Amino acid sequence: MSVHVLSDDDAVRDSLDVLLQANDVPAQTYDSPDALMREVVAKPIGCILLDLTRKSENPLELLSRLRARGVSLLVIILVSDLPAPRVKQPDTIMLRKPVEPKDLIEAVRQECSLSPN
């Protein structure tokens, strides 16, 4: 199982990839919503981690598009403007940035059912 990571910021995407891989969490990264959409529609395995910092697309709109295409994977959204540190909706988790690396890894492992090696 893999974590599908979408970020519109190269540095953030690379940092998330390094963090996940360093903690034995398999990850696949994407630089655009369309690239992510193509992959998860074709191979709906794993979970999705979204960090859209430049507002290239509203994460909730992307979530709606994913659900409309039949993608039911759990989605973790990193957001800056969330009143509570962690809000759950069906198949969606929102984490407020900045999130501690250990907390992000714990959330990914727990919510995506990934266990450490």
State both tokens at 7.
């970020």
Question: What is the band of 86 on the pLDDT scale with cuts at 50, 70, 90?
Answer: very low
By the 8 A CB rule, do 48 and 30 touch? Answer: no
Mean pLDDT of 84-108: 79
pLDDT at 41: 84
Containing 93, the helix (H) or strand (E) segment is strand 92-96
pLDDT, mean over the chain: 85
Question: What is the band of 102 on the pLDDT scale with cuts at 50, 70, 90?
Answer: very high
Domain annotation for the chain: domains and CATH numbers: 3-111 (3.40.50.2300)
Mean pLDDT of 76-83: 76
Rounded Cα distance, 107 and 61, in Å? 23
Q: 94 has which bridge partners?
A: 77, 87
